[in-house]
Chains A and B, each alone.
Chain A
């Protein structure tokens, strides 16, 4: 099913999009809830996606976005191209990494003993969110989304919160020591899922990275 193109929609149709490349991504530091703008590359990635969706006639009923700058800057050209307002949802912010935010990955990877980012109940960076904190926030996101009327929604957010949103949808809970599965959201990767209230069923329609869209463009 092409995204955002069904008519007479009798279900919830969600596209969960990760933001384009940010300065933090490009420079290799841990962002979390620090506001890092899109890089030059990220700005053109977001503009290209907006143009692409406009050209394909993709539409959404609502665009819901994380309050963080890199997500808002990704949503902005899309909202403009598709003629939509941006709704900010604070629950969609990235995981808080506490005191680790703003530090380079190279430094973080040298800390001994290694930092366990996936321990279910440990607040990462002293004051940050544990996996379970994040999972519970993702469950709140999901409850809010399903409370909305049936329709097509574009959700623009971040890798960690989107991973836990997928957990909440699929019925997976966080496990310790990195053992939980990961859904690999590259910059501008998106997951497309539908929820049918009548059958209580989630359907995972697609999960693609920008590389795959390029392939699709070549193929026509």
Chain B
């Protein structure tokens, strides 16, 4: 496609990666900020990703990760294998889902049934973060990321907050009833973006890339 100004100025390459399979994923718990570790399958997914990235000679200047175990363990495996510095940033943690954290869907339906209508400022799980709160935190996380100099960054985080980071980047506002678009992130799937600060130009190069392993679906 036509690019009017092929920019030579330094730019950012940003890879947004979701963590590998966690105990919460495998057992079907609502997770939020409840701290589940990776399962052996999750570790295997990260290793498949690393084999692929080594073959493709992928490297990063810095890895920024959520401090929650499922993300930080994913990030540590990558940081070690690729010899890249790792920094934890709590702004990249998953949504606080309030009373829903650690519950199975059937328990969740009893403890904090989802209202028929939810406005975007309404707390999830009664005491958790609303869609707007998550959006504001995602915006702050992107802002912190761009305070770093241009370079190649890997963000290791979670499906919910990564979706709202996409909203902040693309200019999509949170909607009622979670009806905004949803960007799928399978475990260890990643999205690739570039950002040219001299033009304030974001480009999306890939979404939900998990060519290193096949998604199992019922």
User: Which chain A residues have a beta carbon within 8 Å of chain B's beta carbons?
Assistant: 1, 18, 30, 105, 108-109, 114-118, 159-160, 163, 169-172, 175, 178-185, 191, 199-209, 212-213, 215-216, 218-219
Contact = CB atoms under 8 A, between A and B. Distances in A.
B60 interface: no
B149 interface: no
Contact of A201 (B169, B179, B211): B179
A36 to B, nearest CB: 13
B211 A182 contact: no
A114 B4 contact: yes
Contacts of A204: 181-184, 207-208
A169 B204 CA distance: 15
Interface of B: 1-2, 4-6, 48, 52, 55-56, 169-173, 178-184, 191, 199-209, 211-213, 215, 217
A200 to B, nearest CB: 5
Nearest to B7: A178
A171 B166 CA distance: 12
Q: Which secondary structure characterizes the binding site on chain A?
A: mixed
A184 B205 contact: yes
B205 A219 contact: no
Contact of B5 (A172, A178, A199, A209): A178
A1 B207 contact: no
A114 B183 CA distance: 35
B2 A117 contact: yes
B1 A219 contact: no
Nearest to B175: A171
A207 B206 contact: yes
B170 A172 contact: yes
A1 B173 CA distance: 26
B126 to A, nearest CB: 22
13 contacts: A1-B215, A109-B6, A114-B4, A114-B5, A115-B4, A159-B1, A175-B171, A179-B199, A199-B179, A201-B182, A206-B184, A207-B204, A212-B211
Nearest to B167: A170
B207 A191 contact: yes
A199 B2 CA distance: 36
B204 A184 contact: yes
A206 B207 contact: yes
Given A160-B1, A212-B206, A182 B184 contact: no
Given A116-B4, A205-B207, A209-B205, 5 more contacts: A105-B2, A179-B199, A181-B171, A182-B203, A184-B205
Contacts of B1: 18, 159-160, 163, 182, 184-185
B181 A109 contact: no
A171 B172 contact: yes
Contacts of B217: 1
A183 B204 contact: yes
Nearest to B206: A207
Contacts of B202: 181-182
Nearest to A173: B171
Given A184-B1, A184-B203, A212-B209, A203 B56 contact: no
